[in-house]
Structure 1
Amino acid sequence: MNTPLPMGLMAILQYVLSAVPLRKTQRNFLTVLFSVFLAVPGRLNVLNLSRYAACSESTIRRWLHRSDPGAIPWGAVHRATVSTAIESGLISPLCVLAIDASFHRKSGQHTAHLGSFWNGCAARTERGIEQSCCALIDVQHRQAFTVDVRQTRTGSEAPSRLEQAADQLDDVLLDLRTVPRLDLAAVVADGNYAKESMVETVTGHGLPFISRFPRNANLKYLYTGEHPRRRGRPKKFDGRVDFSDLQRFDLVSETSTERVWTQVVWSVQWAREVRAVVIQQVGKKGQVTGYAVLFSTAVTMPAHEVMALYRSRFEIELIFRDAKQFLGSQDVQLRSQPGIEAHWNVVLLTMNLCRLEALRAAEGGQNLVFSLEDMKRRAYNALLAQVILSKLDLSARFEELEHLPSSPLNFGLKAA
């Protein structure tokens, strides 16, 4: 039986925190911080937050910089939001885990792990910091919840970027085993993560890995004919795959703009069988104008399922967009790695809570119209109304604003 969620962001926050073993001081700090975080206009840095929150700038900095056992267990809080969404029936238990990285501009000579990273918006390498994020995506309605975020480390002693991503995935997959009722279908990532270390990490947990091959991928057809009676090892391969000639692939579907082909092939790089799915873009005259090659390590997975799960990965890009545009993901003015990661966790936890509230109001993801900009504007209206009413000694009448026909708390919201 589904558990109903309470109404309002702060009520949902308290409900989520009740499932996490926190100290009283940790719970109080999170309550104070999130009571104003969504409502703060302008840059969402520590100095600006201290102007609205009931705590000083030094208190916020001290909490965000903590890396001792008394620090906020952000991962446990993120997983509690996912558990809440599943137990309340707002999302389906069937999810995929997506991993991707996002570039953040950052200046200064003392910022931890400052380096050169790929900026997809500018299509070039720039100096800054990189965020590596893991998110659970509901397969049915494509609702995404962040479960882990880390900063990519630089320096001669740091592991490679892909090794760090593989270690992060390993930790996250172990932690997700504690989430009740969660049914993880696969791990999805873009083509930059299609490397042996990632494949071995995911398949080591008994899960399929879905990603994208480069166009020059070294794949071979599997030999399915009769083996001649001769000395030596039986024939295993039957030529290299040429993506310009797909006669030996099975045609799955065809429309006026797209053809989908699939075949089980051998990956020379990883020495394993994979399900390859070739998606051809077709022009007006029937000519092939481009193609993409997806793959799944689960060879029995149907081609349409590989496509659907891979396309759901795009929801993590919307997390990055909303975090930067509306929640100040790039406004971090902390220099240590724990501080930077704590700022990102605050941002992404706020987004998780906002999505929970939006799902509750829409009674599920099927009818959801999720606008983080509108939720931020409404939170500011509510904060301003609370301040004005408190100055007039009318705080007890704040609840009446929710039920007024004029809806003053919705002032400035966009029409859905």
Structure 2
Amino acid sequence: MKKINSAFNKAMSFVSARIDQVSEFTKPQKKFLKWIIEIWVMLPVRHNFLNVYRYSNGQYSEKSLRNQFERKIDFPALSDSVFSPLKEKECIVAFDPSFIKKSGKKTYGKGYYWSGKDGQTLPGLEISSLALVDVSDETAYSLEAVQPPAGLKDGKQMEHYVNIIGQNKDRILKYTKYVAADAYFMKTGFIEPLLKMGIQVVTRMRQDADLKYLHKGPQKSGKGRNRIFDGKVDVKNIDKRRWEVCYQDEDVCAYESVVWCVSLKRIVKVVYLKYKKTDSYSILLSTDTELGGEKVLQYYRLRFQIEFLLRDAKQYTGLEECQARSQTKLYNHFNLSLMAVSLMKLTCWATQQNKSQIPFSMRRIKTWYYNKYITETIFSNLGIDVRPVKVCF
């Protein structure tokens, strides 16, 4: 049956062409990925091997699906192929761990992890997600999601997070040198290793951050070390004479300054946000002192786009529905769920001329692919050819 030349079918043609360009994939993997991505987006039920088989129209058996997921898929290589046009645009990388509900005793990585939604530590899994954020489009695309082994203590857990970024260092630096992370990562054990990689960090500081002004006046003559600091920053009541306004709207006024961070033992760029309605404040930090204060604020706000990516994957592409237990199958399932959302966002929304007026809707895309599947299945079973008939005069 001839396929309708719609934007959605053009999207799958683009994805298919990009998969063919990935030399790390074997021919069976390329064939499988071209097929599974559309099925994964369309699937209206829980995303497990049995349900995928039921909607496969006999192309893959349940055992074949399990065998395909047992071979690790190089998703970072796929992201290199698919998102390569973004190298010409302004981007940052967002990093965020996410809690995944999972029962069972034999599942790889099962342990107790912090759930931000529930506000407590719960039994389950965790994935550490790296996402590429397009600054102009204000949207995130998945690069890779990796599980930590169970039972890691806090120090080892931070080392695991750093290793994930280190393994993707060359890939990240092709797009940007900035990584945005939430306040949990305002730690020396996270920031110092990234700086050695050539990566700058944008994050949020504690409310009681220990900061010192840098001395910019004349130095005294005679022996002794030159004066470095010029008093401590009172974060509850900053000296506005030493700060510059970098951004202002009806809700917040942002001030920027270059100061000394005691915990990191280095000079940093700090953006102080004063909220007008509540009279509260937040403190943002950038390890790049040359980065403008308004950019620091913009980059940190864009960090939240990774939350929308994770939300859509949980709601529409089965991020929390994996019934497998092995490390490789879990890795493939999590990354396929995130990549499916990213591919649909890139091909079906980001290419539109009026995208600023049309919000991205994964639900709409999923509904279209499901309707397409039902229509093609009905006509195929009835043996009806729906191709248009040429009439010659």
TM normalised by structure 2 equals: 0.90
Following superposition, the deviation at residue 8 of structure 1 comes to 2.9
Q: 3-state DSSP class of the match of 1:38?
A: helix
Instruction: Report the CA distance shift for 1:175/1:399 in structure 2 as closer, same or farther (over 3 A).
Output: farther
Aligned to 1:218: 210
Q: Which runs of 5+ in 2 are unaligned?
A: 1-6
- Output one character per residue of 1:211-239: Cα deviation in whole Å (capped at 9) or x when no partner: 00011222111111222124221111122
Rounded to whole Å, the distance in 1 between the matches of 2:267 and 2:15 is 45
- Output one character per residue of 1:64-89: Cα deviation in whole Å (capped at 9) or x when no partner: 123xxxx3211101221211x438xx
What aligned pairs does 1:193-272 form with structure 2 within 5 A after superposition? 193-247=185-239, 248-272=242-266
Aligned to 1:408: none
Instruction: Report the CA distance shift for 1:28/1:336 in structure 2 as closer, same or farther (over 3 A).
Output: same
**One-letter code aligned to 2:386:** R
Q: 3-state DSSP class of the match of 2:212?
A: strand
Rounded to whole Å, the distance in 1 between the matches of 2:187 and 2:49 is 38
Does the CA-based 8 Å contact 1:94-1:185 persist in structure 2?
Answer: no
Residue 368 of structure 2 is aligned to residue 378 of structure 1: yes
Rounded to whole Å, the distance in 1 between the matches of 2:151 and 2:248 is 49
Identity %: 28
- Output one character per residue of 1:350-372: Cα deviation in whole Å (capped at 9) or x when no partner: 11221122236514754543110
Rounded to whole Å, the distance in 1 between the matches of 2:344 and 2:197 is 31
Aligned to 2:13: 11
Q: 3-state DSSP class of the match of 1:362?
A: coil
Aligned to 1:321: 311
Q: 3-state DSSP class of the match of 1:155?
A: coil
Does the CA-based 8 Å contact 2:177-2:198 persist in structure 1?
Answer: no
1:304 paired residue among 279, 289, 294: 294
Following superposition, the deviation at residue 7 of structure 1 comes to 4.5
**One-letter code aligned to 2:75:** W
What value does the CA root-mean-square deviation take over the aligned residues? 2.3
Residue 330 of structure 2 is aligned to residue 340 of structure 1: yes
Residue 39 of structure 2 is aligned to residue 36 of structure 1: yes
Rounded to whole Å, the distance in 1 between the matches of 2:181 and 2:251 is 25
Residue 161 of structure 2 is aligned to residue 160 of structure 1: no
Aligned to 1:49: 52
Following superposition, the deviation at residue 110 of structure 1 comes to 0.5
**One-letter code aligned to 1:74:** F
Residue 273 of structure 2 is aligned to residue 279 of structure 1: yes
Instruction: Report the CA distance shift for 1:279/1:393 in structure 2 as closer, same or farther (over 3 A).
Output: same
Does the CA-based 8 Å contact 1:169-1:201 persist in structure 2?
Answer: no
Aligned to 2:144: 148
- Output one character per residue of 1:272-331: Cα deviation in whole Å (capped at 9) or x when no partner: 100110101113xxxx62111001111121111110111111110000110111111000
Rounded to whole Å, the distance in 2 between the matches of 1:33 and 1:62 is 13
Does the CA-based 8 Å contact 1:276-1:296 persist in structure 2?
Answer: yes
**One-letter code aligned to 2:145:** V
**One-letter code aligned to 2:27:** K
Q: 3-state DSSP class of the match of 2:42?
A: coil
Rounded to whole Å, the distance in 2 between the matches of 1:352 and 1:16 is 14
Following superposition, the deviation at residue 158 of structure 1 comes to 10
